[in-house]
Amino acid sequence: MTPETNIKNEIKQWLKIHHWFVFPILQGMGAYKGISDLVACRNGIVLFIEVKTLKGKLSEHQQIFRDNIHAKNCHYVVARGFEDIENYLLAKEIK
């Protein structure tokens, strides 16, 4: 498994333990360029999660997707581990 796959699995497990419905977005023909790796939902809240390694950076298409999500006042997180999700939820006071 790649380091990014390990991080994705860790994040998915953490979200499931905390009662989030989480699923991956698979890239393929016709997929929206830059779409996040994961989507998580709970209590009417939807999180778009882009998983990166410590040195990973958003591509141009990922930045555009992030900006579009923010423009709609929705939640987008770049996560290098479950702690980034946890910190985001605490900062936004999402329970």
CATH number assigned to the domain comprising residue 27 = 3.40.1350.10
Residue 42, in any domain of the structure: yes
Domain total in the chain? 1
Residue 25, in any domain of the structure: yes
Residue 94, in any domain of the structure: no
Residue 38, in any domain of the structure: yes
What percentage of the chain has pLDDT greater than the value 70?
Answer: 100
Model confidence over 38-95: pLDDT tens digits?
999 999 999 999 999 999 999 999 999 999 999 999 999 999 999 999 999 999 999 8
At residue 9, what are phi and psi to the nearest 5 degrees? -65, -40
Residue 63, in any domain of the structure: yes
Shortest CA distance to 32 belongs to which of 77, 7, 64? 64
Q: What's the domain range around 48?
A: 3-89
Q: Residue 26: pLDDT above 90?
A: no
State the CB neighbour count (10 A cutoff) for residue 81: 17
- Confidence band for 27, pLDDT divided at 50, 70 and 90: confident
Residue 75, in any domain of the structure: yes
- Confidence band for 7, pLDDT divided at 50, 70 and 90: very high
What is the model's pTM? 0.95
